[in-house]
Amino acid sequence: QSMPGASSAISADDLRFMAAAIRFSRRHLGLTGTNPSVATLIVRDDGDGPVIVGRGVTAIGGRPHAEPQAIAEAGEKARGATAYVTLEPCAHHGRTPPCAHALVTAGVARVVAAATDPDDRVSGKGYAILREAGIEVVEGVLAEKAADLMAGYLIRSCRKRPEVTLKLAVSADGMIGRKGEGQVPITGPVSRAQVHLMRAEADAILVGIGTALADDPMLTCRLPGLEHRSPIRIVLDSDLRLPLSSALVLSASAVPLWIACGADADPRKKQALIDAGCRILATESINGRIALPELLEDLAAQGIATVMVEGGAKTAEYFLGEGLVDRIALFESADAIGTEQGLAMPDVHSHIGGFRPSREAHFSADRFTEFMRKP
Ligand code: AOF
Ligand code: ZN
């Protein structure tokens, strides 16, 4: 059946290969610096059905981009093939020549793209280069799915702050911890593994000083084989109360530890932490609290695109109250802690009202729900 414009219609195969490209792009989340983790699949059909002949994902550190890697793998087979790209191919001469030109030179016949690049050097120009060269371009295929994985990059580009994900673990009776007991697991081992995977994919993890003192956490990714993917750890600590003997400071030479303090924090404490390998982020503080918009702007300027806020209750409420949470990862345990020993987070459900569930899963006895901010 032929119809006008049928050449730019999308097929079931297009959706299938784009979904595969998006899954592939996940591989280097949190590892590509200020670049998003983007994937390219080059697919050709020589009569026996479509076959992937080249794959590329933005390299660790951000370069090379996805496209030239996929093109190199495909070689001559790229000629006349379709390229699936999760982000509009770049149009600028950075440390590598523009990917749009590379696709033209490789002779691909068709480019199917998901998200448009908000970068001023690229936005729309990548598609224009391809079209001027006679390549058929289909934009916006599974754009929302691709944007979901690139949310940090997109938010950092457009709003000059990182994407903030709030992780909450809540007992069946609404408690987020136990009084004066240090670290207590609320959810089970499968949820814990999920949290560690989320850490691996984030650029930074952030906690308040209350949690740092009460739990003495490491905040690293300890999944076997992914230990090297621990993100930067950040503590909100206006008065620099974090002890030099804390697990965080003791591991500062192995995994970066940044401490956000008020501009007037004790210079001797600052120096001692710096000597222990920490980095100090002197930030404006208001009523003894770090000014979050300023801190986030600073983090974005330093290349941080995703921050996972892991506690505690005060820090969670502070971010929620300031309207600075983009995503909530809620882990709900089937077990109760009891109002006697439990630490409740009073307003959590009122805040969650501004969010809509976007994903749900069960990790053994725990229920996991991801919420996105309502548009
Ligand atoms: C692509 N493919 O795989 C990625 C792209 O500093 P540069 O030269 O690496 O450029 C960074 C910009 O490149 C980044 O802001 C975004 O616009 C684009 N990322 N583009 O064609 C890729 N990662
Ligand atoms: Zn590129």
362 is in an annotated binding site: no
pLDDT at residue 181, as a whole number: 61
How far, in Å, from the CA of 199 to the mean position of ligand 2? 27
Is 67 a residue of the active site?
yes
Residue 219 counted as an annotated binding residue? yes
CA distance 119 to 156: 10
The predicted structure's pLDDT at residue 1: 38
pLDDT at 313: 86
Q: Kindly give the number of the ligand 1 atom that is closest to the alpha carbon of 95.
A: 8
Contact between 264 and 291 (Cβ < 8 Å): no
Q: Output the CA angle 99-56-17, nearest 5 degrees.
A: 100
Q: Are the C-beta atoms of 134 and 109 separated by less than 8 Å?
A: no
Ligand 1 atom nearest to 117, measured from its CA: 17
What digits encode the pLDDT tens for the residues 88-108? 999 998 777 899 999 999 999
Closest protein CA for atom 4 of ligand 1: 65
| pLDDT score, position 180 | 66
User: Rounded to whole angstroms, how far apart are CA atoms 29 and 109?
Assistant: 29
Tell me the H-state helices in 276-326: 292-301, 313-321
CA of 200 to the centre of ligand 2 (A): 24
**174 preceded by a cis bond (ω within 30 of 0):** no
Tell me: is residue 196 an annotated ligand-binding position. Answer: no
Distance of alpha carbon 223 from alpha carbon 244, whole angstroms: 26
Q: What is the spatial distance between Cα 66 and Cα 56, in angstroms, rounded to a whole number?
A: 4
**pLDDT tens digits, one per residue of 220-255:** 999 999 888 999 999 999 999 999 999 999 999 999
Tell me, in angstroms, the distance from the centre of ligand 2 to residue 67's CA.
7
Which residues have C-beta atoms less than 6 Å from ligand 1? Answer: 35-36, 38, 58, 62-63, 65-67, 87, 89-90, 94-96, 99, 117, 119, 122
Count the neighbouring beta carbons within 10 Å of the beta carbon of residue 154: 21
What residues of the chain score a pLDDT lower than 70?
A: 1-8, 180-184, 346
* Dist CA 310 CA 166 (whole Å): 6
